[in-house]
Structure 1
Amino acid sequence: MTADATIAEICIAACSDTYKESGEVLAHAVGTIPTIGARLAKLTHSPDLVLSDGEAFMMSEPPPLGKSAAAGGVIEGWAPFRRIFDIVATGRRQSMMGASQIDRYGNQNISLIGDWNKPKRQLIGVRGAPGNTANHRVDYWVSRHSTRLFVESVDMVSGVGNDRARAAGPVLRFHHLGVIVTNLAVLGYDGDGRVTVLSVHPGVDPQAVADNTGFSLDVLDAPRTRIPTDEELRLIREVLDPRGARTREVQN
């Protein structure tokens, strides 16, 4: 193992790990670090993972970060936007989304902050979050772990949490929340569907995870998040992100 991995690179490896044993599904990654993580998974432990160039082409080898298939990569298929709905509805996609708020049961908000009738902030809307959380596994990426984001109750539900999915019954039988990767830790869910700590990143004080979360978390005895291997670091630094775009989301 290499000891000089940055927090950004540790987060990339954690994002990559979410695709282990996923098989042949379409990776949907929102954000720079999740995108690099999906591509790292494709080049290492999950070769059957299907990557998109962000437009309509499916790639057997990823294009340069932030570029479409026209700038590089190897095209292996084509899926116009209308087909994405079929892929989602049949559960053949796995998504890592962002969040403006997440509560203790994994309910996610990306739509508004404040009262529904007169919000303080209008955000991007629910987007694909309801369909994603109803049909396939969803993980979340949080670049700045804070009490403003991890809240007791979200102002609006965009992505469905474990409590609401359980209450909905069979209609949400394909609901599957995976993990939440943040700049401080990797979070998961306990048997009751509540957010719990799976690991704390090396160099991070576990108490900082609790202090920056707006609901109670047990951080005692939390293991350390794994450090990327030498080969993973080489791929991140030399192949996938040689310009260091990962540092724009996590700076240390």
Structure 2
Amino acid sequence: MTGASRVEVCIVACAEAWRGDGEILASSIGLIPRLAAQLARRTFAPDLVLSDGEAGLVGDDGAEGWLPYRAVLGIAAAGRRHMMMGASQLDRYGNQNISCIGSWAQPTTQLLGVRGAPGNTINHPTSYWVPRHTRRVFVDRVDVVCGIGYDQAAALGPPGNRFHEIRMVVTDKAVLDFQSPDRGMRLRSVHPGVSVDEVVAATGFPLQLPDHIPATRTPSDHELRLIRDRLDPAGLRDHELGR
């Protein structure tokens, strides 16, 4: 197969978020997370349960069953879901904002609203996909806390925070997580062709930098065939990074 594109590396990196999760509902918001969840199920995570986002369960060959929204809420509250969402802002502890930019009383930009982010982040693992890694997204402090990060979860304390986990953040430049002593955001890997300095410069707060920062793994030939021939033959993924 020809070499992997940046977006194909991102799809594989997002898929890795579900590795080891077993039989849970993989909820994905947006094209890249959806392709990633499908790729994970077809390769290393065959027990993942996938939804069409409405009322159906989907498998490799189409519809598999019925999953009404009331059942989704029950699964989420029981911690049996791993959601991958987007973020308009993220801070060093993983607090996420998708509500508005500026003050809550008089925002300069109105966004989606808080939506289900509080329930997602307190009840089950959550990861984030950010297609443009910039200082506008990675900020020192989010304007509104929608999805709660590690500092907010620590302040909440047990038992309310017992299911809280921000698994990873995948961007067009890198993979990040919170496996650091103070649960501050850590640089886990940089995508091929991206330097550590580029990621640091595009982040509005100090990142935790391990002594060794590897390159994000590239897709195998089998994964590339699945992405290109089965999951996204129309090439919609190529429009996701805004290059």
TM-score range, shorter chain: over 0.9
2:235 aligned residue: 244
Partner of 2:68: 80
- In the alignment, the residues of structure 1 paired with residue 242 and residue 105 of structure 2 have an alpha-carbon distance, to the nearest angstrom, of 37
Q: Percent identity?
A: 52
1:51-95: CA deviations, max 9, x gaps? 11222111122xxxxxxxxxxx43222111121110110011110
Structure 1 unmatched runs, 5+ = 62-72
User: What CA distance in whole angstroms lies between the structure 1 residues aligned with 2:30 and 2:70?
Assistant: 23
User: What's the secondary structure of 1:227's corresponding residue?
Assistant: coil
Query: Is residue 143 from structure 1 mapped to residue 131 from structure 2 by the alignment?
Result: yes
Mapped contact 2:35–2:231 kept (Cα < 8 A): yes
Inter-partner Cα distance in structure 2 for 1:122 and 1:251 = 22
Aligned partner of residue 23 in structure 1, secondary structure: coil
Asked whether the 8 Å contact 1:3–1:227 carries over to 2, the reply is no
Q: Secondary structure at the match of 1:172?
A: coil
Name the residue aligned to 1:41.
40
Of 93, 98, 102, 1:105 maps to 93
Residue 55 of structure 1: aligned partner: 54
Asked if residue 186 in structure 1 is aligned to residue 175 in structure 2, the reply is: yes
Match of 1:161 in 2: 149
- 1:86-110 C-alpha deviation (Å, 9 max, x unpaired): 0110011110000000000000000
1:116 is matched with: 104
- For 2:69, the aligned partner's letter is F
1:171-228 CA-to-partner distances (Å, cap 9, x unmatched) read 1111011000000000011131100100000011221100000001255642100001
Q: Distance in 1 between matches of 2:207 and 2:64?
A: 44
| CA RMSD across the alignment | 1.3
Offset, 1:169? 0.5
Change (3 A) 1:206 1:113: same
Number of the residue aligned with 1:64:
none
Partner of 2:214: 223
TM-score (norm 2): 0.95
1:95 correspondence with 2:83: yes
Return the letter of the residue paired with 1:121. Answer: T
Structure-1-length-normalised TM-score: 0.92
